[in-house]
Structure 1
Amino acid sequence: MIKMIAIDIDGTLVNGEKVMTERVKGTIKEAMRRGIKIVLCTGRPPAGIKPYADELGFETGEDYIIAQNGAYIIRTDTKEVVYKKTLSLPEVQELYEFGKGFAAGTLLVTEFHYYSLEDEITEPMWEDAKLVNMEITILDPKEMTEEMNFMKILYIGEESDVDVIESAVPDRIRDNYYVVRSQKYLVEVMAKDTNKGIALTKLAERLGIPIEEVMALGDGENDYEMIQAAGLGVVMSNGTDNLKSIANEITLSNEEDGVAHAIEKWAFTE
């Protein structure tokens, strides 16, 4: 019996226009009415999740979001921060030093703000900030402080430029951080042992829900650990081949209301 469903946003919950269709919204609300806990679990910061959480009525009950690829768990009605994991200043400095000299830009992400560590704010930075409702400014690397609570660092730019920096990430960084290509235009680097799967497991434990009774829905590489951790890992048909290789089930694409199809087929029929 499915008691909790974790749903990625981009490429999963929403279609290519970043819209949650009426069928998807209606099916999720029906799941909530039936007592199934719905959790939005995404690489987005809280500001980028809020419009969809509001559409689903998350402000009125004990609902949760997992933001920043698992670095942040928030209870939406009380704003309680259930879990937070940040990068230390020496870690941020190490990642900044590595990123210097590449065509892809370096972007720092805090709970509420984007900071470009370049001399400019590039078009990919502007586009991503706009997508997730974050303000963005230029920050002199010398002005970085521990108190800024950096959640992750993004290497962001044209796909070909991100290909180059992704292939250059050394083993010492891959071994000591969580590195993931979550979108074609960016690579994310976060604190070690930070991912959606770990956060989902923590939240399930908090709520007393066995992980075997959790469904997870996703499409991208940053969903890998979440799909792996859940009792029922469902991947969108538009998902990556790597993600599909570990799926328990494949649903329709995000352009075909795949989330609604999955919930109706595997959560409502038990």
Structure 2
Amino acid sequence: MLPRLSLLLLRTFPRDLMAARVASRAFSTAAYFRRSPTLFPSSSVCFHASSLCSDSSVFGGRLSALRCEDRSISKVFASQRGYRKVRRRPAKSRKEKELELNVDICIEEQLPDDSEILGIAEMLRLNVPMAMKLAFDSLKNSEYKTREPAVDDVGCFDTVELSVLLCNDEFIRKLNKEWRDEDHATDVLSMSQHVPELKLPILMLGDIVISVETAARQAEERGHTLIDEIRILLVHGLLHLLGFDHEISDEAEAEMEEEEELLLKSLGWKGKGLIQSANDAETNGMPHIDNPDDCRENLTHELLKDRKKEGSLRFYKPKFSYIFCDMDGTLLNSQSQVSSTTAKALREALSRGVKVVIATGKTRPAVISALKMVDLAGKEGIISEFSPGVFLQGLLVYGRQGREIFRRNLDTDVCREAFLYSLENKIPLIAFSEDRCLTLFDHPLVDTLHTIYHEPKAEVMPSIEDLLAGVDIQKLIFLDTAEGVATTLRPYWSEATRDRATVVQAVPDMLEIVPSGTSKGSGVKMLLDHLGVTANEIMAIGDGENDIEMLELASLGIALSNGSDKTKAVADVIGVSNDEDGVADAIYRCTF
């Protein structure tokens, strides 16, 4: 594990030297400004590279092999925060005065330890000094008319320092908002720290902040690799620090574009410069979107601000180890299906190490059936016969390897009374016995339990005694209209069962009778204890009254907007509805 340090260099400048010079571009916006000493939090992985350059037109035609050295200021800064020191390479002896390039390649804390990102950071240790050398060489005798000459003769300095920070959209968005008052992510920001008035022997060139998340999207759009795109952004940001600004005039844009192309070609790096890519996109009719969130509808601005983009979770660390999720009205939409958007979000969460556990009133076979339709059932999916889960409103709980750790059965007398009521009033009633469904007569509503809700096809038994013989029943479900449940069934059975059983509702047209003292929430608590997981590690998503305890238990409880008022009242967050991919939205907005 690499140490996590701050990108911040321990220097303080007067506030009047921190004026901002901002440059933005369609699709790829770069800002150039003087930075505050408190700009970055002390939380980033940092690679340090030092390079000596000599024998060129400015400082030599040769770039030595990279070396690392311990600088006392860096040692103090690291030790003060208790971070591990970055490994250093032995320093070469200096035979003559040479310009030293000190480069820090940093990874912001919220970026996960992704092997590709770590590899890119290592590659940049070599690439950045090379780009600096060639960029400095090009400044000598240059005839650019629009470049600000604050950084001109680098040969008068002993050392040049530059930091490059790799981050995600969330981090760069905050910087963009704070420093440019633009509340959206961008691809690269350049922050100058050079103050010519101080006449220092060190050229503190500044910082380049690159969103790897945005870079990955642009790389895909432009048909090259992520490292190619990051190199393009690096060149763009470096030129801003050297005084180029494509925003001030067409001539300035042309000069910076020319220098971008020249540097990329000289370095042998693939891809067009950022300015040319943006111009090509405009020419090809691609819309300019300063803020991608403006395109989304049906969500408030605040929801949009925090929502990660699809395919971007690899650039974030999970906030939770587990997601406990309800099925009907939550994971399933109004057609009792898992949407493709929700399925994709679930796969992304799984790929990032987040475990998804189902907590539902359904049987396990019903859940397997529903998720099999989107290839999320089985060993590599969310649910299988060997995965943990809470079923039948917490009356059946399966732990590690899918082994049963809890079962609670309904009182037989309550079952008998309920089936007598069903026969007398011709209201269909289903008994749930582990993975089986039992009833006394056929009815269209009974069929929907199988055809729509994925439950096992109900077995019609010849009599009440035959139905009750030799089986343990965990719960009963009456099927009726929403009005019939609300006005007749619920009042009657709430009174009839008293302390022998409890009535609950997951959907408006079904009334469930379950053993007293049990609930989905208690089943979740039991499973957490079995797995050795604390409530602080889980996020829970639900919609019905039967989800209330689960949402209260979780570190973050999310009720979808289609849920009951009582459920939404106890939730930490109210998400969008199940027909608006509420679970996917919760994953992209809250899990990472």
- In the superposition, the TM-score normalised over structure 2's length comes to 0.42
Amino acid at match of 1:134: P
Which structure 1 residue ranges, 5 or more long, are not aligned?
none
Residue 33 of structure 1 corresponds to: 351
Give the Å deviation of 1:134: 1.1
Match of 2:458 in 1: 136
Q: For 1:81 and 1:174, locate their aligned partners in 2 and report how far apart those are by CA, in whole Å.
A: 29
Note if 1:126 corresponds to 2:466: no
Structure 2 counterpart SS, 1:149: coil
- Three-state SS of the structure 2 residue aligned to 1:182 is coil
| Correspondence list, 1:1-270, <5 A | 1-54=319-372, 55-60=375-380, 63-74=387-398, 78-97=401-420, 101-117=424-440, 120-130=441-451, 131-139=453-461, 140-145=463-468, 147-163=470-486, 164-171=488-495, 173-268=497-592
Structure 1 position 184, deviation (Å):
2.0
User: Would you say the 8 A contact 1:104–1:162 is kept in 2?
Assistant: no
CA deviation vs aligned residue, 1:197-244 (integer Å, no higher than 9, x gap): 011111111111111221111111222222222221100011111111
Identity of aligned residues (%): 25
The aligned amino acid for 2:416 is: Q
| Greater displacement, 6-15 / 22-31 | 22-31
The Cα of 1:195 is off from its aligned counterpart by 1.4
1:158 & 1:15 partners in 2: Cα distance? 19
| RMSD after superposition | 2.3
Instruction: Give, in whole Å, the separation in 1 of the partners of 2:387 and 2:494.
Output: 39
Contact kept, 8 Å, 2:560 with 2:574, in 1: the verdict is: yes
Q: CA deviation at 1:42?
A: 1.2
Match of 2:434, as an amino acid?
E
Equivalent residues, number? 265
Letter paired with 2:433: T
- So what's the TM-score if we normalise by structure 1? 0.88
Higher strand share: 1
Give structure 1 regions of 4+ aligned residues with deviation exceeding 4 angstroms. 97-100
Instruction: Point out the more displaced range, 39-48 or 16-25.
Output: 16-25
Q: 1: distance between equivalents of 2:498 and 2:420?
A: 15
Secondary structure at 2:368 match in 1: helix
Residue type matched to 1:161 in 2?
Answer: G
**Matched-pair contact (CA < 8 Å) for 1:38–1:63:** no
In 1: Cα distance, 2:585 partner to 2:494 partner: 41
Q: Structure 2 CA distance, aligned partners of 1:167 and 1:115?
A: 24
Contiguous gaps of at least 5 residues in structure 2 = 1-318
Which 10-residue stretch deviates more, 56-65 or 10-19? Answer: 56-65
Residues 19, 107 of structure 1: alpha-carbon distance in 2 compared, 3 angstrom cutoff:
closer
DSSP 3-state at the match of 1:243? helix
One-letter amino acid of the counterpart of residue 236, structure 1:
L
Whether contact under 8 Å (2:399, 2:531) holds in the other structure is no
Give the residue type in structure 1 aligned to 2:456. M
Greater alpha carbon shift after TM alignment, 210-219 vs 96-105: 96-105
Shift of 1:158: 2.6
